[in-house]
Amino acid sequence: MTASKSAVEAAGVMPAAAASSQATTVHVWDPFVRIFHWSLVGLFAVAFATGDEIEGLHIRVGYAIAALVALRIIWGFVGSRHARFSDFVRSPGEIATYSGQALRFRAPRYLGHNPAGGAMVVSLLVMIGGIAATGFAMTTDAFWGSQWVENLHEGLVYATLGLIILHVVGVIFSGLEHGENLVKAMITGRKRAP
């Protein structure tokens, strides 16, 4: 190590070339999480639009959604750090505390999902899993033509639409609170470094 290089490092100043190569963002969302997220958005929209109109496509899309949800649940245990449930599933008390802080614009920034976002992930997985299960049930002999299963399926769809709206509002709100583009982060996989 040269004297000038060690003096620069000791002073805490980085040479211009090294400083420009320093990342201002960090990798947060792995490719599976991003592909899952946007695939689910598209497939849910197709499933909602086709409903009773194009039954064959609706059923095939439903199976694809069920497969995606199953893979995401597995990935929640074996995936990358911020994809794991252990990184973002929090207690109801922590979720309530975080939500109160967020409403006062005092919520801490999380690199992965914040407690409210984690609760939304779990809620959406459960609801979409329920939609897939009731949709499948309606194709079986046991529940073919069953009005209560059809009503439950439809009710879960509309409840999920409510959650999706709440999710989008939360993403916008959190993005504004912390000054970052969370939609872009779910496309690139990168967020501002802590």
pLDDT at residue 23 in the model: 60
Phi, psi of 179 (to 5 degrees): 65, 45
Task: Quote the tokens at residue 77.
Answer: 């245990």
The average pLDDT across 18-31 equals 72
pLDDT digits 0-9 by tens, 148-183: 999 999 999 999 999 999 999 999 999 999 999 999
pLDDT digits 0-9 by tens, 47-84: 999 987 898 999 999 999 999 999 999 999 999 999 99
What percent of the chain is modeled with pLDDT above 90? 81
